[in-house]
Chains A and B, each alone.
Chain A
Amino acid sequence: AQKVTQAQTEISVVEKEDVTLDCVYETRDTTYYLFWYKQPPSGELVFLIRRNSFDEQNEISGRYSWNFQKSTSSFNFTITASQVVDSAVYFCALSEKNNAGKSTFGDGTTLTVKP
């Protein structure tokens, strides 16, 4: 069975601080996909990134970066120089290749960035 754990329920930082959101997953499949979504107060889940299990290369997109480590089953998300607009709930999700449509989401981490 697949499982996603986001141990941090809430994080509060001051603007311009760096912040890392943790995500640990469990799966028996050898091929799987990991995602991060952002849910602002409006409610819509906004896709941020998808990572395939066979590609451990870390990725940077502007102020966002992701650290994928299969050895520790983690897919952590770092925001550099955080901004107030980054305040949202962030979800990590896992989808197994042979489990069509059955994405498992973590409980989410609520990030508050204070000015």
Chain B
Amino acid sequence: ETGVTQTPRHLVMGMTNKKSLKCEQHLGHNAMYWYKQSAKKPLELMFVYNFKEQTENNSVPSRFSPECPNSSHLFLHLHTLQPEDSALYLCASSQETSGGLSTDTQYFGPGTRLTVL
């Protein structure tokens, strides 16, 4: 496998379900990201992990819980979501220098299309 992979590609869940999205990068990068892309809205950065540590949380509701066990894997745990959370969730990775300097290109996975009923 190459690049950034995401599973599942499609997910339908009820508001009381608990599910997890998985992202894996095969590029040797040290930073990973979760984005949300809703219809007719710009791409929204949700979480950033640099060197496995969360460095950014853009006021995301607690029903979204990220987990980064190592530099190659990133999870997004979902719990009691709302219908307005239905969107395309994109994972990305990049190679960042130490000290938090952003220099490199983010490479994206194919996304998980989430529908909350």
Q: Mark A residues whose CB is within 8 Å of B.
A: 33, 35, 37, 42-47, 50, 91, 95-103, 105-108
Q: Does B2 contact A (CB under 8 A)?
A: no
Question: A35-B105, A45-B90, A45-B108 are contacts. A100–B48 as well, Cβ < 8 Å?
Answer: yes
Q: Using a CB-CB cutoff of 8 Å, which residues 30-66 of chain B contact chain A?
A: 31, 33, 41-43, 45, 48, 50, 55-56
Query: B10 to chain A: closest CB distance in Å?
Result: 10
CA–CA, A47 to B105, complex, Å?
8
Given the interface contacts A43-B113, A101-B48, A105-B42, does A33 sit within 8 Å of B107 by beta carbon? no
Instruction: Give the contact-size bracket for chain B.
Output: 20 to 34
* Distance in angstroms between the alpha carbons of A108 and B41 in the assembled complex: 9
Q: List 21 A-B residue pairs with CB atoms under 8 Å apart, sorted by A's residue number.
A: A33-B102, A33-B103, A35-B106, A43-B88, A43-B90, A43-B110, A43-B111, A45-B90, A47-B105, A47-B107, A97-B101, A100-B31, A100-B96, A100-B100, A101-B33, A101-B55, A102-B48, A102-B102, A103-B45, A103-B106, A106-B42
Complex interface: chain B residues within 8 A of A102 (CB): 45, 48, 56, 102
Q: Which of B48, B102, B110 has the most CB of A within 10 A?
A: B102
Roughly how many angstroms separate A85 CA and B52 CA in the complex, as a whole number? 37
